[in-house]
Amino acid sequence: MQQSALKDRIAALPRVRCAHLPTPLEPMSRLSEELGGPKLWVKRDDCTGLATGGNKARKLEFLIGDALEQGADCLITQGAVQSNHCRQTAAVAARYGLDCHLLLEQRVPTDDGDYANSGNVLLDHMMGATTELFAADTDMNAQMDKLADTLGDKGKKPYIIPGGGSNAIGATGYANAAVELLDQCEAMDLRPSHIVHATGSAGTQAGIVAGVHGAGSTVSVLGIGVRAPQQKQEQSVYELACDTCEHLGVGAALPREKVVADCSFVGDGYGPPTPAMLEALDLVAKLEGILLDPVYSGKAMAGLIGSIRAEKFESSRDVVFVHTGGSAALFGYRWALDNN
């Protein structure tokens, strides 16, 4: 499939327009100079709008398009307490007049009041979403199904969105982002060797991989893991990327080696801060005036910085970092940032 055919296929799918697109592609000149590695660029998906922005807006455009086509009147989704995905789902629900039910899992072992009530949680409530807390390691998919049954019995028409918006419909948003980025690189005469970003629920990386593959590009995609071990993360991404290619009608088989995740920057698990993440937040804020988040883009930037210091990239090439947003979560992590 050629890039133009992929665009046509994406354009034919159900979709709403809630993101500010295209997002900017900007140089990070001071950070590049500080690290002495490749020339760094940042794809500003923290600027998608929709309640402080972030990568989920792209996925939700296609997910809400599908929900409305199915006649849904309420949304159900799940995530961690400080979930960026839940916050943006609450925002799009408010925009389209849908009830929103958020199931929040207590994945981070802290009883800090800011974590429980500020940041994304504060915004969830401001936008009218209902929230329900669950202990860590709860079967959240089962809980969503249970709530959907309850709402259905009351005459509602719920639409379940998986955690992170990560199914083939949601990942289409990042296949579209990949095409958008490739167009920007061509217009700016950039030929990046790598696209680097955070990978967690798999949808962002799966979409980018599917989009790059479907467009026939040779750029490498590197996901920096924020939760699962490497083998598990790569397999999840690969399976979803294959599903996304099928959804988009990409006929050529996706080689397994196209999916690469570096999961050595996770630390103690999903959410808990790491020294490398805190350093990345500090460097990017002070050198570029860009706010990362403590769960996703902060650890992804830590991975990018670590890879540059380990000389894993050619210094003469360009590298694009996809900023997936999430700065609202910083206000829930004051307990970690104050001690930095």
Give the catalytic positions in this structure: 83
Confirm if 170 and 67 have CB atoms less than 8 A apart. no
Confirm if 43 and 294 have CB atoms less than 8 A apart. no
Q: Token digits for 99?
A: 């009830």
